Amino acid sequence: MERAMTYRLEQVAGLTVGVWGEPNGTPVLAIHGITANHQSWKAIADAYDGQIIAPDLRGRGGSWELPGPSSMERHAEDALAVLDELGVEKAIIAGHSMGGFVASVLAHRHPERVERLVLVDGGIPFPPIEDDVDRVMEAILGPALSRLEITWPDREAVHLFWKAHPALSDWNSYVEAYVDYDVGDGETDLRSRIAPEIIRADGRDMHLGQAAKDAYADLPNQPFPAVFLHAERGLLNESTSLYGDPAKYEDHIAVERLPGSNHYTILFQPQYAAAVARALTNGAS
């Protein structure tokens, strides 16, 4: 359930940044996924008793016109600049999907700025791929990527498109806020505010880049605790999760399983958002 809380949009370090709540202990820096925006974190902000700082990464949302080049390292430095400009010395760093890779790289390069690392169904390197990376991304992301070619006549058409997504059949106000923000404030001829060339660059770097691999490999040596929140189902609500059996990661990072969740509902459904909020507060339960 949504609750009354402060929310504002700011321009910070060149990025559009959503800020929920007021300072209450260590703030959270929350980093969204590859074709997402800061509204991904709205349900978690409603469940969390503290401040969540969530930037739109370059090439997305309010930051969509910012140019490349783009990579996990570039996003990590952008996110660090947000903390610097806001005067945040130490934060709980959270990332969903690709945001988990960005969060890991930020934490690896600047561990003194991290109180806790929370990876929400993301951030663990994928096995090597032999196929074309762009083709793999199209197969994995499906509607989330195909929408970049669409112009919708009105907001109702946007909602109908997303309601047909197999992972978003449980529509609620959090999903609606997310998809509405994706297309901005207009009412007709609506398009996702996403730069396709930056998405392609990030997809290649997420799969082939070394920075995120090094960050994950070094996690057991870091001074901060880390937890991986595992969605049981996949990006298209498949019975197979994006990351397979989480037991294979448990000797490297604490794992919390969220049975019944998929890659999207882990953010948008209140019962799972509450579990993410608890992990932000306490680490793994």
Candidate from 136-140, 143-147, 256-260 with smallest mean pLDDT: 136-140
The confidence score (pLDDT) of residue 9 equals: 97
Percent of the chain past pLDDT 90, that is, above it, reads: 85
Instruction: Count the Cβ atoms, other than its own, within 10 Å of residue 167.
Output: 24
Higher pLDDT, 133 or 192: 192
pLDDT for position 74: 98
Domain 7-141+195-282: give its CATH architecture.
3-Layer(aba) Sandwich (3.40)
Exposed / middle / buried, residue 283 (Cβ in 10 Å: 0-12, 13-18, 19+): middle
What would the pLDDT profile of 238-265 be if each residue is shown by its tens digit? 999 999 999 999 999 999 999 999 999 9
Are the C-beta atoms of 60 and 68 separated by less than 8 Å? no
Backbone angles phi, psi at 34, to 5 degrees: -65, -40
Instruction: Give the number of residues written for the chain.
Output: 285
pLDDT (0 to 100) of residue 282 = 85
Is omega for the bond preceding 69 within 30 degrees of 0, making it cis?
yes
Please give the Cα distance from 280 to 48 (Å, whole number). Answer: 8
Whole-number pLDDT of residue 147: 86
Which residues partner with 181 through β-bridges? none
Mean pLDDT of all residues in the chain? 93
pTM of the model: 0.94
Domain range summary for the chain, segments of one domain joined by +: 7-141+195-282
- Residue in 89, 92, 93 with CA at minimum distance from that of residue 31: 93
What long-range pairs does 165-173 form, CB within 8 A, spacing at least 24? Answer: 165/236, 165/264, 166/236, 166/237, 167/233, 167/234, 167/235, 167/236, 167/237, 167/262, 167/263, 167/264, 167/265, 168/264, 168/265, 168/268, 169/237, 170/265, 170/268, 170/269, 172/268, 172/269, 173/2
pLDDT at 267: 98
pLDDT score for 285? 45
Least confident of 103-107, 126-130, 137-141, 208-212: 137-141
